[in-house]
Structure 1
Amino acid sequence: MATALITHADGMNYVTPDGHPEQVARLEHLLHAVAGLDLRRVGAREATQEELLRCHPQRYIDLIRAAIPGSGQHQLDADTWVSPGSFEAALRAAGGTCQAVDMVLSGEVANAFCAMRPPGHHAETEKPMGFCLFGSAAIAAKHALEAHGLSRVAVVDFDVHHGNGTQDLLWDEARALLVSSQQMPLWPGTGTPEERGGHDNVMNLPLPPGSGGAEMRARYLNEAFPRLRAFSPELIIVSAGFDAHKDDPLAQLEWEVEDFVWITRELCAIASEAAGGRVVSTLEGGYDLAGLSASAKAHVEVLMEAGT
């Protein structure tokens, strides 16, 4: 079966000020990198109100909509800006990830990668932050549980920054297991091992600055993968941030492209054992354009390899 690439031109309409790391060029470079791959290319749909409301209350959705400027950019916090096209871009980022769930669970494709921006894993229940407006990975997990009736969904987040938003949105969801590795110390300052969720459904794996693939692989092999196998997920959703790459300007981990290949291949193997190979991946961070492009392309190539 095929691997789906879900994206949309609206992802280019989330415009930030000059010099901001979350820039339109991120998506442009990524899509150029995967242009030659044999993927099933699908336009991302917008998230429905019902899908958003599984994670965010109506007053928050209305707050984000009301914050969108008619022109230029508007600052929501120290890091997070919105422009006239930001609301639609965020809807398609969340909706495209739910669409990926639909396609994978229906058997239409083997797995899927949603290449959209803004990212989502820092958006809390009622708080935009870290370039994120809606919690795409958590919304997709809830969609799999509620719309498709799954009993166990795992979210694995290997972005260099802790997915505080995904943790907040899934904290009380016993049917979801969140496994998150992140540099610590680093913004946003969350992600300690003591943060375990309302149902012991959160596993945080902090990694020290300057550590590389060897340290990451040991933590996943000894801690994360046994926990995932014990949970036996029916679907794995990956928050695929590529900012642990050694050249990324916002953090100090030393991962190589081969480390992203390794973790993707291992997650696909666990999905093959427990979930019929069903994996949905969604883009989070990655701010060195060359590192992002190479790592994301390698990630997608492993998904393709696993889907054959």
Structure 2
Amino acid sequence: MPTALFSHESSLTHVTPPGHPEQVARIAHIQEALSQPDFQTLERRSAPECSDADILLCHPQSHLEAITRAEPTSGSVALDADTHMSPGSVKAARHAVGGCLAAVDAVMAGEVGNAFVACRPPGHHAEQSTPMGFCLFGTAAIAARHAMERHGLSRVAVVDFDVHHGNGTQALLWDEPRSLFIGSHQNPLWPGTGMAEETGGHNNVMNLPLPPHSDGRLMRATYEAEVFPALRRFAPELVILSAGFDAHRDDPLAQLEWTEADFVWLTEQLCDLAAAHCGGRVVSTLEGGYDLNALAASVAAHVRVLMERAG
């Protein structure tokens, strides 16, 4: 079966201020990387816009209304020191969520083997009523709840390998016993959460802090010793990846020293585990990655593995 690539032009209309790392050029570089001949067999699909009901799977109505009201008619507005909105930001965020839900639907229906969602803004820092860390809505958490509520799944794993802790996904799934959230991230680093003792309301959260300047060798050893055994015990029916590529050694916002080869290895291992437990059902959604060349190369490496494993 093919790998699906979900994207939407609205990702290019969410404009952040000059010099902001979460910029339109991120998508442009990914699009260029995935336009090369070896990606021609990707099944390219338009990410649909999600509904209010989709967002309300994780966020209260008050949050949805506050985000909608905050969107400016021109220029940009800062929701906090890091998180900005422009005209078109709400539409872009809705398509990012909608793309992830459509990817879940396509994978669950057996239309595709797995999927990658190349949309922005990212989502894993957005908490119930707090946009933060470039994020407006909790995309991966909403996708997990969508799989549970609308596809009847009782075991959905979310693995977040972004260099920053996915505090939003953790918060949104904290009391959800049908989920297992696993996050590896640099510590110390913003947002300052994600300690090992944070284990969720049902022992359904696993955090793996990694020290600055550690490389892929420590990551691989940590995943082999802790993550993969936990996933095997959980036996997921679907694996959702919060695919941040800012653990790359060239990324300007952190100090881990992974390479494209590390993302390849991690993607291979997670896809193989999904193959053993849930027919290879993997949905990967873009989170961070702020060195444009490293981002493009890492996404290409990640998607290439998805394509190999989807067949």
Q: Give me the identity figure in percent.
A: 63
CA shift for structure 1 position 203: 0.2
Structure 2 equivalent of residue 297 of structure 1: 300
Q: List per-residue Cα deviations over 1:67-94 (Å, max 9, x = no partner).
A: 0000000000010000000000000001
Pick which of 275-284 and 45-54 moved more: 45-54
User: Distance between the aligned counterparts of 2:84 and 2:220, measured in 1?
Assistant: 35
Matched, 1:306 2:287: no
Q: 1:240-259 alignment to 2 at 5 Å?
A: 240-259=243-262
User: Distance between the aligned counterparts of 2:151 and 2:73, measured in 1?
Assistant: 37
Structure 1 equivalent of residue 117 of structure 2: 114
Q: List per-residue Cα deviations over 1:249-298 (Å, max 9, x = no partner).
A: 00000000000000000000000000100000000000000100000000
RMSD between aligned alpha carbons? 0.4
User: Distance between the aligned counterparts of 2:259 and 2:56, measured in 1?
Assistant: 38
Structure 2 equivalent of residue 13 of structure 1: 13
User: Distance between the aligned counterparts of 1:47 and 1:209, measured in 2?
Assistant: 37
User: Distance between the aligned counterparts of 1:13 and 1:102, measured in 2?
Assistant: 26
Q: 1:138-157 alignment to 2 at 5 Å?
A: 138-157=141-160
SS in structure 2 of the partner of residue 147 of structure 1 = helix
CA shift for structure 1 position 49: 1.4
User: Distance between the aligned counterparts of 2:183 and 2:147, measured in 1?
Assistant: 19
Structure 1 equivalent of residue 230 of structure 2: 227
Structure 2 equivalent of residue 207 of structure 1: 210
Structure 2 equivalent of residue 26 of structure 1: 26
Q: List per-residue Cα deviations over 1:2-31 (Å, max 9, x = no partner).
A: 000000000011100000000000000011
Q: List per-residue Cα deviations over 1:213-256 (Å, max 9, x = no partner).
A: 00000000000000000000000000000000000000000000
SS in structure 1 of the partner of residue 151 of structure 2 = coil
CA shift for structure 1 position 51: 1.1
Selected match of 1:65 from 42, 49, 68:
68
Matched, 1:183 2:186: yes
Structure 2 equivalent of residue 269 of structure 1: 272
Q: Which runs of 4+ in 1 moved over 4 A?
A: none
* TM-score (ref. length: structure 1): 1.00
User: Distance between the aligned counterparts of 2:224 and 2:307, measured in 1?
Assistant: 23
Gaps of at least 5 residues in structure 2 are: none
* TM-score (ref. length: structure 2): 0.99
For 2:4, give the aligned amino acid: A
For 1:29, give the aligned amino acid: H
Structure 2 equivalent of residue 130 of structure 1: 133
